[in-house]
Amino acid sequence: MFRDKAPWWAYVAILLTSIGAVLPLAWLFLLSLDPNQGIASGSGVYSLKNYASVIFQSMMAQYFLNTTIVALFTVLCTLTCATLGAYAASRYRFPGRETIMIGLLLASMTPVIAVLVPLYALAAKLQLLNTYSILVIVFTAWQLPGTLWLLRSFMNSIPPELEEAALVDGCSRAGAFVRIVLPQLVPGLLAAGLIVFVYVWNEFIIAVSLAAKQDMRLVSVGLYFYLSDFGVEWGKIAAGAIVSIIPPAILFLFLQRQLIHGLSAGAVK
Amino acid sequence: MATVEIRAVKKAYGATAVIHGVDVDIEDGEFVVLVGPSGCGKSTLLRMIAGLEDISGGEIRIGEQVVNGMPPKDRDIAMVFQNYALYPHMTVAENMGFSLKLRKAPKAEIETRVRRAAEILSLDHLLDRYPRQLSGGQRQRVAMGRAIVRDPQVFLFDEPLSNLDAKLRVQMRTEIKELHQRLHTTTVYVTHDQIEAMTMADKIVVMHDGIVEQIGAPLDLYDRPANQFVAGFIGSPSMNFLKGHVRLDGTPRFETPDGIALPLSSPGGVEDGQPAVYGVRPEHMQTDPQGVAAQVLVTEPTGAEILVVAKVGEQEINCLFRERLSFAPGETIRIAPQPNLTHLFDERSGRALA
Ligand SMILES: Nc1ncnc2c1ncn2[C@@H]1O[C@H](COP(=O)(O)OP(=O)(O)OP(=O)(O)O)[C@@H](O)[C@H]1O
Ligand SMILES: [Mg+2]
């Protein structure tokens, strides 16, 4: 951005970072193609046997379905609540507004481990263990503060005059929100939605604590149980891991432009 | 088209009062300019007319109807904002047709009206563009187009030209005035630029710190300012103010602390020895062999005229001469106000003295 050609050390840095990021993945990939056991077998034989057994002879498909359902509902709930909250926090003045926002941020910094036991007890009491609902509720609560902050900063960058112009043009307050504010918010919603989706996809601790029953597992939990289910069949675990990366990777590929735009739009301007 | 009546209107944000009881009568088809320094409450008043701010006290009527509790959408007004507030996700045509679409006007009618407004503003070739693909001046036009498509009761403008460069501003000023002469829609126009106010208005409302200082036709305000604030605000360069006393012994005159005597226009209603402020516009000063001595500090020729900053006793005075005069700094010249074009203000209240 500052000059036409980056200095040599920038390339070196990027190269090292890339190798650091790609090497484990590459190793994982090779491992997943090895039909024999053992991490260091290096048999030189490659096949898709591991993939076949992960996809067709395990519960992986069910885990994918579970994760997708939970992720989509979490995204939906989080975005709905966060959008409405962000609108209120951005457009209305009310006593304690900033205190509430800071409080939310602090609350979101609590380590998961600290609330795990009470969460489990609560879920058990409500008879919600091993359901989609409890995962959606807890994930939504967990993601709400960050999403609220992201969307509020996004909302703050939308000039209030746009809504005022719509009010004068004949909209009600709600009409102006739907017709004018929401369309401006789309990049922010996409970015926030993607972040939440990927969070759910990667989440493990909450998921394993609240929904560990075999048919209710999320992908991450399923992979973890492979360690015991298959013995230590590294090839299959590797294949499962590779497969589980695919959906978020595809989402990223499709949405990366919106994501970058969405994340930076609130900051600049 | 409609009249607008503003009666004892007040506005407070919590405990801070920002508008302290304002009365303005706007006639049908009139072009009224609200003018005043930054922070005086012009935008707030305009936004109360639009319904974008609550009215803390008093009453606003649009065409006989009290609108205090009425939401903006029912007031039948159109507003042009300083930053234009064009909807970024709509094309120019969609922006202009938005209000008609909300009122469920038939598609064909929307199209004809948008097209007609676009023609008036020479926007025909831009109808399919998005706001981000337009220049500042074009955006300004679209914002006006969005307002005139509606054919509303009242147009409200909040500093619509302040984001344009100087040349474009003058051009758009003329265009808005022409537009008003063509449509005769009641218009309330906010600006802090007194030249805009003078050139565009049928009637100017001068505001200051949340009150109305004076209401009148542009030249009325120029010729007969009600107080020192209006006198200093209207006119450019602004009026000279000299401190001193009224002297009624012998020829009525104004005397500065240095003992320099200046002629008074109409010395009624004042007492001998009364402290006062003497006002005279730079363009009403002339060279005069019988005048008072003044020492030239700076000269600023612009071609058409020359501004001379000079010292009369200890006080500075600006003079604007239309003749080609050349003075050197330090030179002593003799100057005098043109007869009957001077003003006198109360020293404490700033009120104009008869
Ligand atoms: N939301 C608010 N809360 C408190 N005070 C406010 C609020 N909005 C405006 N004010 C105050 O009201 C006064 C009038 O503001 P207003 O925007 O009407 O000024 P203005 O005459 O339009 O000035 P400018 O030429 O700078 O636009 C200002 O002193 C401002 O600080
Ligand atoms: Mg303003």
Judge whether A36 lies within some domain: no
| Span A60-68, average pLDDT | 93
pLDDT of residue B326: 87
Distance from the alpha carbon of residue B43 to the mean position of ligand 1, in angstroms = 7
- B19 Cα to the center of ligand 1, angstroms: 10
Assess A248–B contact: CB distance below 8 Å, yes or no: no
Residue of B nearest to A165 (CA): B85
Q: Cα torsion for B70, B74, B78, B84, to the nearest 10°?
A: 80
At A58 the three-state DSSP class reads coil
- How do residues A180-205 score in pLDDT, each as one tens digit? 999 999 989 998 999 999 999 999 99
pTM of the model: 0.85
Nearest-ligand number for the alpha carbon of B56: 1
Instruction: Flag if A169 and B89 touch (Cβ within 8 Å).
Output: no
Residue A115 lies in a domain: yes
Distance B275 CA to ligand 1 centre (A): 35
CA dist A250 → A23, A27, A156, B257 (Å):
20, 21, 30, 85
d(CA B92, CA B85): 12
Within a domain: residue A28?
no
Q: What's the confidence (pLDDT) of residue A251?
A: 87
Mutate to test the pocket of ligand 1, among B34, B40, B45, B206 (most ligand atoms within 8 A of CB): B40
Cα–ligand 2 centroid distance for B209 (angstroms): 13
Instruction: Please check whether residue B54 touches A, CB under 8 A.
Output: no
Ligand having the closest approach to the CA of B53 = 1
Helix (H) or strand (E) holding B190: strand B186-191
Q: Is residue A1 part of a domain?
A: no
Inter-chain Cβ pairs, chain A and chain B, closer than 8 A = 58
Read off the tokens for B220: 């009325």
Least Cα separation, residue A106 to chain B (angstroms)? 30
Q: Which residues line ligand 1 (CB under 6 A)?
A: B 13, 16, 18, 36, 38-44, 192
Q: Is residue A226 part of a domain?
A: yes
Task: Read off the amino acid at residue A165.
Answer: A
Put simply, whether B81 touches A (Cβ < 8 Å) is: yes
Number of domains in chain A: 1
Condensed to tens digits (0 to 9), the pLDDT of residues B128-179 reads 999 999 999 999 999 999 999 988 999 999 999 998 888 989 999 999 999 9
Measured between beta carbons, the chain A residues lying within 8 angstroms of B86 are 165
A202 belongs to a structural domain: yes
Sheet holding B253-255, edge to edge: B261-263, B253-255, B240-247, B275-280, B342-346
Would you call B85 and A162 a contact, using CB atoms and an 8 Å cutoff?
Answer: yes
**Res. A152: pLDDT tops 80:** yes
- Nearest residue on chain A to B85, judged by CA atoms? A162
Is B71 in Cβ contact with A161 (below 8 Å)?
A: no
Residue B10 CA to ligand 1 centre (angstroms) = 13
Q: Over 90: is that where the pLDDT of A3 sits?
A: no
**Nearest CA owner, ligand 1 atom 4:** B13
Q: Which chain B residue has its CA at the smallest distance from A161's CA?
A: B85
**C-alpha pair distances (Å), B136 with each of A117, A118, B124, B139, B172:** 59, 58, 17, 5, 12
Q: Which pair of tokens denotes residue B230? A: 């209006």
* B11, B35, B42, B158: residue to mutate for ligand 1 pocket, most atoms within 8 A of CB: B42
Among A93, A167, A169, A173, the strongest candidate for a mutation testing the B interface, having the largest count of B CBs within 10 A, is A169
**CA B229 / ligand 2 centre spacing (Å):** 19
Of all residues in chain A, what percent are helix, strand and coil, respectively (each to 5)?
75, 0, 20
Q: Give the closest residue (by CA) to ligand 1 atom 7.
A: B13
Q: Which DSSP helix (H) or strand (E) runs through A123?
A: helix A112-125
The answer to whether the CB of B149 falls within 8 A of the CB of B113 is yes
CATH code at position A167: 1.10.3720.10
Of A42-46, B33-37, B138-142, B291-295, the poorest mean pLDDT is in A42-46
* pLDDT, tens digit, 9 for 90 and up, residues A215-250: 999 999 988 887 776 667 788 888 888 998 998 888
Q: Looking at residue A267, what is its pLDDT?
A: 42
d(CA B181, CA B197): 16
User: Residue A211 to residues A66, A127, A221, B25, B107: CA-CA distances in angstroms?
Assistant: 10, 12, 9, 71, 55
In a domain, A32, yes or no: no
- pLDDT for the residue numbered B354: 66
Query: Which pLDDT score, from 0 to 100, does residue A78 have?
Result: 98
**Segments forming the whole domain that contains residue A224:** 51-263
pLDDT of amino acid A233 = 77
For atom 22 of ligand 1, the residue with the nearest CA is B43
Question: What's phi and psi for A216, nearest 5 deg?
Answer: -110, 5
Determine, yes or no, domain membership for A61: yes
User: pLDDT digit string (tens) for A16-54?
Assistant: 999 999 998 898 888 888 877 655 555 667 788 888 888
Judging contacts by C-beta atoms under 8 Å, the chain B residues touching residue A184 are 88-89
